[in-house]
Amino acid sequence: MDKNYLKGVGQRIKETRNERGLTLRALAPLCDLGYDYISRLENGQFDPKLTTLIKIAKALECDFRSFL
């Protein structure tokens, strides 16, 4: 996967999380993921699965497509 694409996905997740006023530690239990994993996603270090994006989007009350 293109590194710039992954950074873009991660940046959009981070922006949405910040707009909702959530820290990584607050978001993690809402989507049943580790905060360190979410941090790495936000930094473009992982290619997230669709199910992961859906979990995060559900926790942030947005459409997962907004991250793509």
Mean pLDDT of the chain, nearest integer:
95
Give residue 15's pLDDT.
Answer: 98
pTM of the predicted model as reported, rounded to 2 decimal places: 0.93
CA distance 2 to 26: 29
Nearest CA to 3 out of 51, 57, 37, 43 is that of 43
Q: What is the pLDDT of residues 31-55, one digit of tens each?
A: 999 999 999 999 999 889 999 999 9
Model confidence at 1, pLDDT cuts 50, 70, 90, reads low
3-67 — its CATH code?
1.10.260.40
Q: Where are the beta strands (DSSP E) in the chain?
A: none
Domain boundaries, the chain: 3-67
